[in-house]
Chains A and B, each alone.
Chain A
Amino acid sequence: MGDFFTASVLVATIASGVRLATPYLLAGLGETIGQKSGVLNLGVDGVMQLSAFFAYYTVLKTGNLWYGSLAAIGVGLVMGLIYAVITIEFEATQGISGIGIFILGLGLSDLLFRELVGTPKPIRRLPSVDIPLLSDIPKVGEALFQHNLLTYTAFVFVPLSVLLLSRTTFGLNVRAVGENPHAADSLGVSVERTRYAAILIGNAMAGLAGAALVLGLGIFQPNLTQGLGFIAVALVYFGSWRPAGVMAGALLYGMVNATVLQWKALNIIPVSGSVLANMAPAVITIVALAFLARRGSAPAALSQPFSRH
């Protein structure tokens, strides 16, 4: 246990926690925007898997990490469009439709991987970029300012989503449509268009989350997320629909995860028989968040299809 509390191990753990938090932060922020508009998207995990595959495959073929990231965003947008058409045009139940998207993403990424790649081959990983000056701060610099660009992007998206939701007309429309679509409609705000946009933004971010996951690992395997994309949905609830809350939750998850990995590496807990240890981060995060989370209330029209009477 003593080994764990040395400065260098702690710094490494925090750095890895931030890294592990990234995909869930990106996906959670996207899910927040969608839910704020009244749309529950349970398909995040599937979107992450499929975009992770496309990011991986693009990098495998072109060697270009940015093409990979763009491909992932593209996949997110396409999946978002499918989901939007199903839930907005056809007013299908959002819960079930989201599960459908999850299964589609999971199955398709698995199939494509086996058809197109077969055996896992490593790809280039996103390089870390040191932030000038800040990364030179002892300890703190190593823990926080020596990460890859997608990690920085994820954290920059936190204030940006706050700004988007609270300061822009689009954000105002999103909040109104998620709370009382009839009121928004009566003032000429298009409920459909606002929800389309929110879904597309949210899914693009889930796509980017997939890219962050796979390009951080440098390898793809079927069922890459192992269903942990659902953590992103949980983070939105525990974060009380606030980006900062989602960030806090994502960091908590990342840190717990990193600690468990570190303990395994230091043999503080056994590597074998570690099903429990594998589950621990998700369980601990959810339990902790359930206690810590500030009670916020869900958007009143969450998961309700809109139609005029």
Chain B
Amino acid sequence: MSTESQKLVEMRGITKRYPGVVANEDVTFDVEYGEVHTLLGENGAGKSTLMKILFGLTPADEGEVLLRGEPISISSPADAIDARIGMVHQHFMLVQPLTVAENVALGLRSGRRPFTDLDVVSKRIHELSEAHGLAVDPSTEVWRLSVGERQRVEILKALYRDAELLVLDEPTAVLTPQEVDDLFVILRHMVDDGRGLIFISHKLHEVMSLSDRITVLRNGRVVGSTTPAESTRESLAEMMVGREVLLTPRKPVLAAGRPRLSIRDLSITGDRGAVSVDNLSVEVHAGEILGVAGVSGNGQRELAEAIAGLRPVDAGTIQIDGTDITRATTASRREAGLAYVPEERMRDGAIGEFTVSENLVLVNHGSSEFAKRGLFSHAAIRKHSEDKVNEYGVKTPTVDTPTSSLSGGNIQKVIMARELGVKPGILLACQPTRGVDIGSAEYIHRRLIEQRSEGAGTLLISEDLDEVLGLADRIAVMFEGRIVAIVDAADAKREAIGLMMAGVLDD
């Protein structure tokens, strides 16, 4: 396929400065034909920035890019696509009111110009989803899809365009273990075809299983390269963070207390008009973390939104500490002690144009701590924000930086800091460490365990089965809108839960 020396892509001496941060400093990085090269690094290390430069989304201040041995200037995504570079972005790049087929067709040359050829595109999507096990209906509007399904659409978009160099910026953050396995089979196929792949993930076992080479970035610089054969998860973690990391959380044994969140006979209609939560009952007790495991699209999102007050319920009740909140406003739910970490952080969790500091006090800026006689006490807000930023290790130049300019994992940390900061009675956490680096995930897990010890109840909805297994006291498996089993985490087996998530039950 290639001469021995010619690389598919070479980035040389790339430097990129943003106000107050050097996102990339003299980074040299390459990908060979037929290779998966993983970029590893903490939140804010500069991985996405490097990839945005490669894809023409932002210009580098210094450095050059060689594609197939030739210097190339990529100043827009259109240039990158012409050069057969594809990218699955860290945050969804989907047009919500458009259908899956329309999202895929966007920017493609239609065979029936000036008209679209959506039927042709849909047919090809069907073929691709059959071939790769990426089930998704081309005629559904994207806003109706779960995040897992949206991720599939993003991957389909890239597959459809048949890129030779494919960048995947945290494509697995919202996928289930089974989906990840399927994806890796597809990716391996692509690589065996001689294509090159750049992979970014915070999940070390994925990195170990998929990569041919691994390059670690820290604070914008390359700190080293290695291969899975030469490393262990622990050594990678240490290389990234610069200290030893505890990969499995340790939690004290607690006796479960009184019920704090009680859900009875809850039924909810989903966006597609079908029943998405079906007569579901469950209780979360004080001092307990109840993990909900399930393939995305089985009602978890609707359940979470109903508890948070963002979606009406058809029947049933939701109580916090005995108070009925089934139809309460979001504000009175918060007063009742609910905190909420939504799965879609950019849409529901933070306001991008607001500063880090404003987002940190978003739920309680009216409290006496931050406001006096209706006016903000800026000093108190600033002090609080700076404390939180330090405590959670949020990488941001200042607390007055617009939140949208933070790296993905750092935005997640801002949300976690805010929601845990209010000392909730009930914490509803959806994918709490999605996209968070292992060092910070360790910290967030520790905080989750701490507030568990303080008597809070936690409903943890996560597609990261390792996270659920590591943190939860009990695991509820959700399938087609019902809880099909609740097992004690102590005697839960990964494989058994995986099977139940797929609807296979043996009793």
Question: What is the interface of chain A, defined by CB distance below 8 A to chain B?
Answer: 167-173, 175-176, 179-180, 182-190, 297, 300, 308-309
Contact = CB atoms under 8 A, between A and B. Distances in A.
B422 interface: no
Interface string B262-289: 0000000000000000000000000000
Contacts of B237: none
A183 B113 contact: no
Interface of B: 55, 57-58, 76-78, 80-82, 87, 89, 92-98, 102-103, 105-108, 110, 113-116, 157, 404-405
A174 to B, nearest CB: 11
Given A175-B95, A176-B95, A190-B78, 4 more contacts: A167-B116, A169-B110, A173-B106, A184-B107
Of A176, A186, A190, A309, most buried by chain B (CB within 10 Å of CB) is A186
Contacts of A169: 105, 110, 113-116
A183 B77 contact: no
Given A172-B102, A188-B77, A309-B58, A183 B116 contact: no
Given A168-B114, A169-B113, A300-B96, A184 B106 contact: yes
A187 B81 contact: yes
Contacts of A168: 114-116
Contacts of B58: 308-309
A182 B98 contact: no
A186 B116 contact: no
A270 B417 CA distance: 68
Contact of B96 (A179, A182, A309): A179
Contact of B87 (A176, A184, A186): A186
B106 A172 contact: yes
14 contacts: A167-B115, A168-B114, A176-B95, A176-B98, A176-B106, A179-B98, A180-B95, A186-B57, A186-B77, A187-B157, A188-B78, A189-B106, A309-B58, A309-B405
Contact of A183 (B55, B93, B108): B93
B95 A185 contact: no
Contacts of B55: 186
Contacts of B87: 186
A81 to B, nearest CB: 22
Nearest to A300: B96
A180 B93 contact: yes
Contacts of A187: 77, 81, 93, 106-108, 157
A185 B157 CA distance: 14
Contact of A186 (B93, B102, B405): B93
A167 B115 CA distance: 6
Contacts of A179: 95-98
Nearest to B89: A186
Contacts of B95: 175-176, 179-180, 183-184
Given A170-B114, A308-B57, A183 B76 contact: no
A188 B96 contact: no
Of B102, B103, B107, B404, most buried by chain A (CB within 10 Å of CB) is B107
A182 B89 CA distance: 11
B489 to A, nearest CB: 39
A217 B193 CA distance: 69
B188 to A, nearest CB: 25
Contacts of B57: 185-186, 308-309
A187 B79 CA distance: 10
Contacts of B405: 309
Nearest to A163: B115
B157 to A, nearest CB: 7
Contacts of B157: 187
B114 A180 contact: no
Contacts of A173: 106-107
Which are the 10 A-B pairs with shortest beta-carbon distances?
A187-B107, A188-B78, A183-B93, A188-B81, A188-B107, A186-B93, A180-B95, A189-B107, A176-B95, A179-B95
B405 to A, nearest CB: 7
Nearest to B94: A183
A205 B475 CA distance: 61
A98 B55 CA distance: 34
A73 B323 CA distance: 64
A195 B264 CA distance: 51
B309 to A, nearest CB: 20
Of B77, B89, B96, B405, most buried by chain A (CB within 10 Å of CB) is B77
A176 B106 CA distance: 8
A183 B98 CA distance: 12
Contacts of B110: 169
Nearest to B109: A169
A179 B97 CA distance: 8
A189 B116 CA distance: 14
A175 B95 CA distance: 9
Given A169-B113, A308-B57, A175 B98 contact: yes
A308 B107 CA distance: 17
B265 to A, nearest CB: 31
Contacts of A300: 96
Nearest to A178: B95
Of A169, A184, A309, most buried by chain B (CB within 10 Å of CB) is A169
A180 B55 CA distance: 18
A172 B101 CA distance: 11
B54 to A, nearest CB: 13
A180 B91 CA distance: 12
